[in-house]
Amino acid sequence: MLHTRIALITGATSGIGEATARLLAKNNFKLILCGRREERLQNLATELTSHTSILTRVFDVRNKEAVVEAITTLPAEWKDIDVLINNAGNAHGLDPIQTGNEDDWDAMIDINVKGLLYVSKAVMPEMIRRTTGHIINIGSIAGKEVYANGNVYCASKYAVDALTKGMRIDLNAYGIKVTAIHPGLVETEFSLVRFKGDAERAANVYKGLEPLKGQDIADLILFTLTRPAHVVIADLVVLPTAQASATIVKRN
């Protein structure tokens, strides 16, 4: 019988993480769903329990102690995490570097970079012990190209790119697969967060083009996770057809 893998998804309360939870639940994965918004996690868990076993963990990836607590207190039957999807993250603000808001800088570096490190550090020991596992980091086209006013968000995603490469090198001896997926424009709550709840400004980001959906990224994650044991997808950039680069977008 096919081994049912355990996947831990950070940022499962919306967007790419939520779509991934839905897809993996229907594809023979047991899921540990993480995020800060407990009610959303509970609702999603309730919905998906007809497909698979679900555990939820509420924590802020910035809180090192909370991350360690969430992972080390997993019940014995959930400890062997096979798949870690480091998805939690956001942009905060879109300002020139000279007038950037330091709280936004802290949020992006603390969540997108340090949070990813804390979660990975907590999950890796069991993967290393079992000499198996797969870590998928969600980067961004912003981690491949810098655009005007993207400065610190881009830096945080360049860091994700570098950390992915570093993980693949350092974990090579343990048979652990490491993948980065770098999306372009995906219509999620991302722009609403970036523009601090300004729904009109957020909607404008996706106006006049057909953006990617969370489901599109979930499909790639599932594809990546279902390659044969000897194959790792190392690095994937995925854009809407209307997008040619971080800044060149064909709009109607």
Out of 118, 147, 153, 174, the active site residue is 153
Integer Rg of the chain from CA: 17
Residue 141 lies near ligand 8X3 (rule: CB under 6 A)? yes
Q: Please compute, for residue 198, the number of CA atoms within 13 A of its CA located in the half-sphere on the CB side.
A: 10
246 binds, among ligand NDP, ligand 8X3, none (CB under 5 to 8 A by kind): ligand 8X3
Among 31, 111, 136, 249, binds ligand NDP (CB under 6 A): 111
Element (H, E) at 237: strand 235-238
Contact status, residue 56 vs residue 25, Cβ threshold 8 Å: no
Annotated active-site residue 153? The verdict is yes
From the list ligand NDP, ligand 8X3, none, partner contacted by residue 151 (C-beta under 5 to 8 A by kind): none
Residue 66 or 146 with smaller CB distance to ligand 8X3: 146
Is residue 240 within the footprint of ligand NDP (CB under 6 A)?
Answer: no
Q: Is 92 helix (H, G, I), strand (E, B) or coil?
A: coil
Q: Distances from the Cα of 199 to the Cαs of 56, 105, 188, 218, in angstroms? A: 29, 22, 12, 24
| Sole window of 6-14, 20-28, 102-110, 137-145 interacting with ligand 8X3 (rule: CB under 6 A) | 137-145
Minimum CB separation from ligand 8X3 for residue 95, in Å?
14
Min. distance of Cβ 6 from ligand NDP in angstroms? 19
Please give the single-letter amino acid code of residue 22: R
Residue range at the interface with ligand 8X3 (CB under 6 A); choices 105-113, 138-146, 161-169, 233-241: 138-146
CB 189 within 8 A of CB 15: yes
**Residue 61, contacted partner among ligand 8X3, ligand NDP, none, CB below 5-8 A by kind:** ligand NDP
Cα separation, 208 vs 205, whole angstroms:
9
Instruction: Give the CA angle between residues 7, 13, 16 to the nearest 5°.
Output: 70
Q: Does 87 bind ligand NDP (CB under 6 A)?
A: yes
Q: Which amino acid is at 89?
A: G
